[in-house]
Chain A
Amino acid sequence: MNYHITHRTFYDYAAPVSVSHHVARLEPRATAAQSCENFSLQIFPEPALRKTRTDYFGNQLCFFAIQEIHSKLEIITSSRVTVEPKIPSQNESVSPWESVAEMFRDPVSPEVVDAYQFVFDSPQVRASQELAEYARESFGRETPLLAGARDLTRRIYEDFKFDPRATNVATPLEEVWEKRRGVCQDFAHLGIACLRSLGLPARYVSGYLRTHPPAGKPRLVGADASHAWFRIFCPGTGWVDFDPTNNVQPAEEHIIVAYGRDYGDVSPVAGILTGGGAHEVKVSVDVEPLE
């Protein structure tokens, strides 16, 4: 499937900003099942400094600094992405989760060291015995790894209510757990925390999701949004994605931008301003399928 994606972020500051530094992770990364062409990143006002590099997790990162006094900032990306269809793996072909968890106990074989990084607590995701218990309902004895993950995804979808007003970017996972509400970021963190509490490696993925207009209505341009889900390491297969917000296993309608340990590693745009005061952000995303 081919997509043309535009992602526009617009900041309107209450007070003038004299200098600002930003980090953007907006370029869809190349994976085995995904390729990206014609990526462009436009920034207004023109940054005094702009550098692109690859971050620790292999994501493309753009660092930029604006040094003229400004009260608006606009970041627009555009890209053409090809996603190969993925065929969901069969449960039976996969080893029980306990044996996978055992692989990630010291000493760990060098072949899986890279995945091992994603077993540990990260700033926004902390394992706990409580989450381990919750996860065990999906991961009974000898449950095949992916069957467990699929069931965990379903339970998060059913047990937690999608509610954009319940949480914000700073809401800790404990509060999401308590309120049983949140958004895609919270559900991805929750899934990751459950898996890590069992000693399984899990990653946070930020990206986009193709949305379908209601039957008979035209597709609305710019009505899509950024999205987040998680992936789990499956020996022999590699990383397998799960989307607890929609209770699906991403096939060809999820577009990956970046991955890391949690949101903090991959936030699409982060910035520190001198001045600025209160400000408004507007984000619009358009995921246009190309025939």
Chain B
Amino acid sequence: MSDADNMRRNRNERQMIQTQTQSMTGEGGDAKMAASASLLFNYQRTAGAFDELLATNGEIFPHYAKLLGELEQFGAAELSRRADASQRFVHEHGITYNVYGDPRGMERPWQLDPIPFVIAPEEWQQLETGLIQRATLLNKILADCYGNQDLIRSRWLSPALVFGQPDFLRPCHGIRVPGDMHLHFYAADLSRSPDGRWWVVSDRTQIPTGAGYALANRLVTSRILPEPFRDNCVHRLAGFFLATQSLLAQLAPRQADKARVVMLTPGPHNETYFEQAYLARYLGYMLVEGQDLTVRDNHVWLKTLNGLERVDVILRRVDDDFCDPLELINNSILGVPGLVEAVRAGTVVIANALGSGLVQSPAFMSFLPGLCRHLLGEELKLPSVATWWCGQKDAREHVLKNLERLIVKPAFRTHLKIAEVEQDELRRRIQFDPDLFVAQEHVDLSTAPAWVGEALTPQPVSLRVFLVANGKGGYAVMPGGLTRVSPDSDGKFISMQRGGSRSKDTWIPSATPVEELTLLHGSNQSVELRRTGNNLPSRLADNFFWLGRYSERADATSRLLRSALLRFNPERTGGAKPLLAPLLQTLETQGQLTGISARPELWANAEAFEAELLAAIFDPERAGSLRQTADHLQRLAMLVRDRTSNDMWRVLSQIDDRLAAPRPKLVMLAGDAVGVLNQTLLGLAAFHGLARENMTRAQAWRFLDMGLRLERAVYLCTLLDATLQSPDAENPSLLEAILEVVDCSITFRSRYNLLPTIPAVFDLVLLDDKNPRSVLFQIKQLVKHFDKLPKERGDTASPGKTVLENCLARLEKTDARELASSSAKWSDSALAATVRHTLRALPQLSDAIAASYFAHSAISRTGRGDWP
């Protein structure tokens, strides 16, 4: 969405809010009291927990006062409206979180509570100091473990914590990283205990996720609560991301202005894929998968349509042991072979450094106070939740004695599911292999106001905070964070993966107005003008091509089914149906209807027939149904999320939503279905319009349009072929249906004041290169695209081009006037042969495009000889 849109939206909203508050205050002096009573009427401190809003004496903490005052002015009805608006924002921006193995589908909309969590500025400052100390400490520990290992030899750290851990990556030992910086990004989960102290519950050093969700929460919350956001002078998050950009630019082995930073993602099935795409776009980095990268001459390269381009810095969202199948996890073929050696050679920098997951084990927590004194000469400022590592004798005894009141966790990353283990068995396991277990004190989480029903309700919260290295040995803390809310009042765990929990924006108010920041470079900098953006990775070209194909497949399917449903009339069982045959035949040839022609009983039974058509639209289980096609579209749009506009995304998700809407049990009438198809077609038209009018004519658009043209030609030729094969080929009603499907009825009528005939229809639909829905038009567009594609090395005539030129020559040779005088049966005519020739050539063309531009060969592992 553009800035202008944002401003307009905000302004509209503000006007609406003003009118509402005016009408409220107009009701008289008691209104404010009443509103106050209505928001907090049910707000009671939970016994034995700290409340973030109310002090023990029942007074509201000063840092919440301003926000609460404004919320009360809004009143419950207005807040509910804004809460709804926030969920709508979330949906429209496609903010999601993937849940593994969920039968309802992986992707979940992000759950946002509209009421921000407010932290007093003085308190935040203390937290900041403590967090910076902790990040510095963890980085020093990493540097030692991957270097001299003095801490182990001098007994400051138990060797088991390092040697016993799968997260200690031995191939990374001894690799020199720039500035001895291993931990570029760090996140911590904090909770506040009943006495009001903050504790670190877990450290995130491997891939500190969540900063993007914090940013998304801010985007939504600042829009639905613009007045409180402004009046509280909330610290902006942009500074954190500016610091991120500047750090990564500094890390590059090459000069900063040439440096290329990419974000490495495990792919769209990862739980935080949305966040990755969102951050990549916000930070201006290309989002790549392992297969997009290759190592040559000990450098990392990005595979693009124009060849290989060097990569300097990798912002890693892939677990470190999956980054290089050659040197790290042996049974994986994800990642980039040779990457570790390139890092070792210093030609590429990875953030966080490979191996940084080591210190996020909870077992480290019990060693941190001692290590902090030893390494930094200071006391640990921010305590960890009480933790006992069972590898130590005293700790083990304590844990075994207090097993029922402690939370036992695996000390290292493991497949072990402790929650499912009975206590006696757990005891035995701890005794057998004590190093593998830690136990932690349970923290009663503090509660903060959340919007539940129509009132503010205290709910348990925990806070994830984010730090980024400043490149000078220190860290910057994001002023804010990701607050998570547990739905149960006695919430022990808050996990997005378990579902059910919501999150909140986190506000650090300031006494004075805060500085506005932007990630775009200042205008005083001289900019080298460019007409092309970043080169397109081959994988994305592939995705755009299929996005084009599927969007057109959805369009053609909708048109065919709509015309079929409109013509299908239960009262005229015998009459109209044969004329539908070519339409249905087309869907069948494309694998979207099964066996309509082979099951004559369907033709006799109007209800079964109608059910069949409806299933081809709505049934998510049915191969090739419109619903499935829309899902594919949505999935492809997800894959190119960082390269398409929000509008395109919104249009496609609306199409998918609409098709998903009808409940299976709901009686669906043919008339309703036609309505849905109409809406779908409008949505697709909007999508194609956005593509045509809003995408620059660069490679992404070119591949999208090639996909569309190719698919349209496939459907056109299939339909025309089915028509010529039909015994009713010359029936004007059938030909009218064909014109309707390909959206040419109006043009036809303006040209001919006649009933349609085969020569006239085929002239318009097959051969007229001025008609954007004709076959020849598609072929000519494809030829134009081919001429603009990057040329293959030393190859002049690409196989795709040859195929296209043959099609073009044959179509151009066909003279519609000669058709009129033809006397042969249509099914055996030269016309039918031409249509079929084109139809056969199209898959070859698609294969040729794939071979030339999308070829990313799979990697494999060498075997070895037999052992004695």
Instruction: Give A contacts to B, CB under 8 Å.
Output: 9, 11, 18-23, 48-49, 51, 55-57, 63, 65, 67, 105-108, 110, 113, 116-117, 119-121, 123, 127, 129, 132, 164, 169-170, 183-185, 209, 225-228, 245, 264-265, 267-277, 279, 281-283
Contact B294 A267 (CB under 8 A): no
Closest residue of chain B to A246 (Cβ to Cβ) is: B868
B789 at interface, CB cutoff 8 A: no
Contact A65 B868 (CB under 8 A): no
With A106-B158, A271-B326 known as contacts, the answer to whether A117 contacts B866 (CB < 8 A) is no
Question: Which of A51, A184, A245, A265 contacts B341 (CB under 8 A)?
Answer: A51
With A129-B432, A226-B868 known as contacts, the answer to whether A276 contacts B163 (CB < 8 A) is no
Contacts of B435 in A (CB 8 A): 106, 120
B333 at interface, CB cutoff 8 A: yes
Contact A120 B164 (CB under 8 A): yes
With A9-B865, A51-B341 known as contacts, the answer to whether A113 contacts B159 (CB < 8 A) is yes
Cα-based distance from A70 to B523 in the complex (angstroms): 52
Cα-based distance from A44 to B432 in the complex (angstroms): 50
Cα-based distance from A209 to B867 in the complex (angstroms): 12
Question: Which of B164, B331, B867 contacts A225 (CB under 8 A)?
Answer: B867
Considering only residues 424-438 of chain B, those with a C-beta below 8 Å from chain A are 428, 432-433, 435
Cα-based distance from A276 to B298 in the complex (angstroms): 21
Closest CB-CB distance, B348 to chain A, in whole Å?
A: 15
Closest CB-CB distance, A122 to chain B, in whole Å?
A: 9
Contact A19 B173 (CB under 8 A): no
SS class, residues of chain A in contact with chain B: mixed
Give 7 new A-B contacts, CB below 8 A, not counting A116-B160, A275-B860.
A23-B327, A164-B866, A169-B864, A170-B331, A268-B864, A272-B337, A272-B859
Contacts of B864 in A (CB 8 A): 9, 169, 267-269, 281, 283
With a 10 A CB-CB cut-off, give which of A113, A267, A272, A277 has the most chain B CB atoms: A272
Contacts of B166 in A (CB 8 A): 123
Closest residue of chain B to A11 (Cβ to Cβ) is: B862
Closest CB-CB distance, B319 to chain A, in whole Å?
A: 14
Closest residue of chain B to A278 (Cβ to Cβ) is: B860
With a 10 A CB-CB cut-off, give which of A105, A265, A279 has the most chain B CB atoms: A105
Cα-based distance from A51 to B858 in the complex (angstroms): 26
Cα-based distance from A143 to B327 in the complex (angstroms): 40
Closest CB-CB distance, B402 to chain A, in whole Å?
A: 20
Contacts of A9 in B (CB 8 A): 864-865
Closest CB-CB distance, A125 to chain B, in whole Å?
A: 13
Contacts of A129 in B (CB 8 A): 428, 432
Closest residue of chain B to A265 (Cβ to Cβ) is: B170
With A21-B338, A164-B866, A277-B860 known as contacts, the answer to whether A55 contacts B171 (CB < 8 A) is yes
Contacts of B170 in A (CB 8 A): 55-57, 265
Contact A106 B391 (CB under 8 A): yes
Cα-based distance from A77 to B791 in the complex (angstroms): 43
SS class, residues of chain B in contact with chain A: loop
With a 10 A CB-CB cut-off, give which of B159, B166, B296, B330 has the most chain A CB atoms: B159
B599 at interface, CB cutoff 8 A: no
Cα-based distance from A221 to B536 in the complex (angstroms): 55
Number of A-B contacts (CB under 8 A): 145
Cα-based distance from A213 to B334 in the complex (angstroms): 45
Closest CB-CB distance, B359 to chain A, in whole Å?
A: 17
Contact A120 B867 (CB under 8 A): no
Contact B163 A183 (CB under 8 A): no
Considering only residues 619-659 of chain B, those with a C-beta below 8 Å from chain A are none
Contact B158 A272 (CB under 8 A): no
Contacts of A108 in B (CB 8 A): 158-160
With a 10 A CB-CB cut-off, give which of B164, B329, B393, B864 has the most chain A CB atoms: B864
Closest CB-CB distance, B239 to chain A, in whole Å?
A: 40
Closest residue of chain B to A272 (Cβ to Cβ) is: B337
Contact A273 B338 (CB under 8 A): no
Contacts of A48 in B (CB 8 A): 296-297
Contacts of B863 in A (CB 8 A): 169, 279, 281
Considering only residues 147-169 of chain B, those with a C-beta below 8 Å from chain A are 152-155, 158-160, 163-164, 166
Contact B297 A227 (CB under 8 A): no
Contacts of B295 in A (CB 8 A): 21, 65
B857 at interface, CB cutoff 8 A: yes
Contact A117 B173 (CB under 8 A): no
Cα-based distance from A280 to B337 in the complex (angstroms): 21
Closest CB-CB distance, A230 to chain B, in whole Å?
A: 14
Contacts of B391 in A (CB 8 A): 106
Closest residue of chain B to A280 (Cβ to Cβ) is: B863
Contact B868 A63 (CB under 8 A): no
Cα-based distance from A123 to B321 in the complex (angstroms): 12
B325 at interface, CB cutoff 8 A: yes
Contact A183 B330 (CB under 8 A): no
Considering only residues 750-786 of chain B, those with a C-beta below 8 Å from chain A are none
